[in-house]
Amino acid sequence: MLHKHFDINDKGRDFVVGDLHGCLSEFESELKKLHFDYEFDRMFSVGDLIDRGEDSLGCLKLLDEPWFHPVYGNHEEFMVMSVIGNENPGLWFANGGEWCMDADAEEVKRLCSIIADTVPYAITVKTKNGDVGICHAQPPSYNWEDTLNPTYPAKEVMLWARTRIQHKDKTPTNGIWKTIHGHTPVNEPVQFGNAVYIDTGCVFGRELTVAEL
């Protein structure tokens, strides 16, 4: 799936969480602090649910929750290509994917299929302040509309690129109020132009960022 659009949430709150990387207990702690309402609130995710942390499978099972809405991250790409695409898993294992060796293979395959079939490269969420765009690494161009039907190179940018944050690029992306991303660890959330980066490296012992939209 390429893109999902969510209308304004007029019954609850909307949040976005940084890269989880298997840090399920830390995420659950944040939900408690927020008094998260599982019936009316929504949680969006910048992707990279898995690898390196203690409970990758538990984070994957968040896909079964109706309130949880992630985008596709590069670590999900590692997994899908290895489990469904039958690629050599060596690169995935080198980046934290060895947890799957001890996990239920059928359950991992089931969750991989959910990712491949339903998890988008980008999400647009309508808020009272304007539309918020979410993709894993950075927008594919300076026009958010290019996330709606991205080409293969654009998909690669959304999963892997770090050029904007590395160059502190303040050029705004048109057609969107703010964009939110993970992928590149930062000490604290940082904004350049209208792009906000929220992977604060929870899996490396730092805080997990959860922000209200």
- Residue-wise pLDDT for 84-98, tens only, equals 998 999 999 999 999
| pTM of the model as a whole | 0.97
Q: Indicate the angle between helix axes 74-83 and 105-118, nearest 10 degrees.
A: 120
Whose CA is closest to 75, among 198, 160, 134, 197? 160
Alpha-helical regions (H) of 61-151: 74-83, 90-94, 105-118
Query: Stretch 5-34: mean pLDDT, rounded?
Result: 98
116 by Cβ neighbours in 10 Å (0-12 / 13-18 / 19+) ranks as: middle
How do 3-6 and 68-70 pair as beta strands? unpaired
User: What pLDDT score was predicted for residue 86?
Assistant: 84
Q: What is the spatial distance between Cα 128 and Cα 69, in angstroms, rounded to a whole number?
A: 19
- Residue-wise pLDDT for 192-208, tens only, equals 999 999 999 999 999 99
Contact 156, 37 (CB under 8 A): no
Res. 1: pLDDT tops 90: no
Contact 192, 165 (CB under 8 A): yes
Query: Stretch 31-42: mean pLDDT, rounded?
Result: 98
Res. 77: pLDDT tops 90: yes
Contact 139, 146 (CB under 8 A): yes
Res. 119: pLDDT tops 90: yes
List the catalytic residues: 75
pLDDT-based confidence at 150, cuts 50/70/90?
A: very high
Query: Stretch 129-149: mean pLDDT, rounded?
Result: 97
pLDDT-based confidence at 8, cuts 50/70/90?
A: very high
Res. 39: pLDDT tops 90: yes
Other Cβ atoms less than 10 A from the Cβ of 192: the count is: 16
User: DSSP E strands: which ranges in 42-197?
Assistant: 42-45, 68-70, 122-127, 130-135, 178-181, 190-192, 195-197
Q: Does domain 3-212 have CATH number 3.60.21.10?
A: yes
User: What pLDDT score was predicted for residue 139?
Assistant: 98
Domain ranges of the chain: 3-212
